[in-house]
Amino acid sequence: MEAFLVSTGIVALAEMGDKTQLLALVLAARFRKPWPIVLGIFVATLANHAMAGALGAWVTTLIGPQVLRWFLGASFIAMALWMLIPDQLDDGDTPNAPRFGVFGTTVLAFFLAEMGDKTQIATVMLAARYEAYVAVIAGTTLGMMLANAPVVWLGERVTRLVPLRVVHIVSALIFAGLGLAALLIRPG
């Protein structure tokens, strides 16, 4: 349960102001069809995070627990620093036309936008840290949906409720705490 809850919280916070959240806003404004967009976000996230989680699980078979602990600690601290750098949506990230329909365009755009993104890398690290593949993937996917679905339905108003800078700082503190815990607390 801890892996699920931590994964949900970390990704929901990390996603605030992320380029994929901005992409959700762009898709919602452009296509004005929330259900296919939300379903597309879900499918793309599930596929992307399933691959990332598999990578995280695989890494644990290659690296010994002591090296993995140091690697994860350093990775979480690096992630904390990365959280302090806000994302922007590049002009090339906006779909031009719904060639594949609203659902297909959303799946493709989200899947590609998530490649190498903070939340994908967090999924790799969380899967390696907790060694609970299903719980981590379910949690990270729920975190993405909690951050993105309201943006599709409510638009820009959602992103104005809490200053993004505050969300980024809180996320950075959580990642830093996880990094320090991985480095300082020896598994029993």
Q: How confident is the model at residue 139 (pLDDT cuts 50, 70, 90)?
A: very high
Strand, helix or coil for residue 33: coil
Q: Would you place residue 86 in the very low, low, confident or very high pLDDT band (cuts 50, 70, 90)?
A: low
Q: Which residue has the higher pLDDT, 99 or 31?
A: 31
Greater pLDDT, 11 or 70: 11
Cα–chain-centroid distance for residue 35?
Answer: 20
Dist. CA 105–CA 183, nearest whole Å: 41
For every residue of 18-50, DSSP letters joined together read -HHHHHHHHHHHHH--HHHHHHHHHHHHHHHHH
Q: Which two tokens stand for residue 150?
A: 């309201």
Range 136-145 average pLDDT: 96
Q: Give the confidence band of 103 by pLDDT, cuts at 50, 70, 90.
A: very high
Supply the mean pLDDT for the chain: 81
Q: Under DSSP, is residue 13 helix (H, G, I), strand (E, B) or coil?
A: helix
Give dist(CA 127, CA 141) in Å, integer. Answer: 13
Residue in 136, 161, 158, 137 with CA at minimum distance from that of residue 149: 158
End-to-end CA distance of the chain: 19
Q: Give me 9's structure tokens.
A: 């919280």
Q: What is the mean pLDDT of residues 2-6?
A: 93
Is residue 4 very low, low, confident or very high in pLDDT (cuts 50, 70, 90)?
Answer: very high
Q: What is the pTM of this model?
A: 0.70
